[in-house]
Amino acid sequence: MSGPRLWFHRDFGGYTGGHGKVSDYFRHALALGWDARVHFAAGSLTGPENPWHDVPERIEPVFAPQPGDVLFLAGLDWRAVPPDALDACEVVNLIQHVRHAEPADPRFAFLSRRATRICVSEPVFAALVGIGRTQGPLFTIPAAVDLAEVAAFANRHRPPTEGRRIFVDALKQPDLGREIARALARQGWRVDLVERRARRDAYLVRMAAADRAILLPHAAEGFYLPGLEALAMRRPLVLPAFAGAGAYARHEETCLMPAMESEAIVVALARLDDEALRERLVARGAEVAAGFDLPEERAAFAAVLEQVREGVR
């Protein structure tokens, strides 16, 4: 028997990890028997870059939750909910960043509204507990990726035999990324610098085609999926620290974690010339990444939804 209708809302201007994770939860809900629907804000992109492109029958032209429905909200989705729906519907709120707990962040104001909240890492959970503001149950479900999909990209798109190709994700640190790219180019690296959003498949192709990866997250990242993807691809990784790093990123164990500045990052990359170090990091990184697959995330979400279902009966 189908569960209650579960509404999602997105303002989709291009692919981000945040959109990707909400899409994962949408598909978890479908697999668990819920009637999941998504509404997009005006102006949203609807082409192949949109993770819901393949389920047009699930896209609703009007955001019209009814009493007894459940809302799945993330980020600023709260702003799109009709006011009466918040009183009539249960809410599941996905929290992906530590910065939600900062009073200056626009998402902070929503924490006082009752919801069942899912944090993508323990640091996010601790940040919300620390402010004592949230209303409703609070859970941690570590974020996950489709490991089979990531492995397939890694196998199909291997680095060229001549080597010395480096993937640098500077989406969130563009100035630093350009500085690093210039330094590495002078050393003879072929640098693939990511400065603009790309479709997820195109992004993974580029990462897979590199011998090594440098990823530059925002300091308040709650999880940061690209780092996990690099480990799952078995790419030697340089990844400066961020709030949720401890889930999988461990200095000298799964990756190298220098300070978030150009010289330190370039020095760390040079250390990966040590074959023994490189192989040790790659092996342990892949082992850790194997614990963050989508089936585990789905099972944990199923347990949360069972509690939510009780609230709408």
pLDDT value, residue 162: 76
Pick the CATH number of 5-144+293-312 from 2.40.50.100, 2.60.40.1660, 3.40.50.2000, 1.10.3720.10: 3.40.50.2000
DSSP 135: B
Residues 282 and 235 sit within 8 Å (Cβ to Cβ): yes
Give pLDDT, residue 94: 98
The domain spans of the chain are 5-144+293-312, 147-289
Question: Residue 74 in contact with residue 68, Cβ under 8 Å?
Answer: no
Which residue ranges in the chain fall short of pLDDT 70?
1-3, 311-313
Length of the chain, in residues: 313
pLDDT of residue 313: 57
SS (H, E, C) 178-207: HHHHHHHHHCCCEEEEECCCCCHHHHHHHH
In CATH terms, are 5-144+293-312 and 147-289 the same topology? yes
CB burial readout 279-311, b (16+ within 10 A) else e: eebbebbbebbeebbbeebbebbeebbeebeee
Architecture of domain 147-289: 3-Layer(aba) Sandwich (3.40)
Token pair for residue 225? 């999926």
- Residue whose C-alpha is closest to residue 227's, from 169, 152, 311: 169
Q: Which token pair is 193? A: 């610098």
The alpha carbon of residue 104 and the mean position of all alpha carbons in its chain are separated, in whole angstroms, by 22
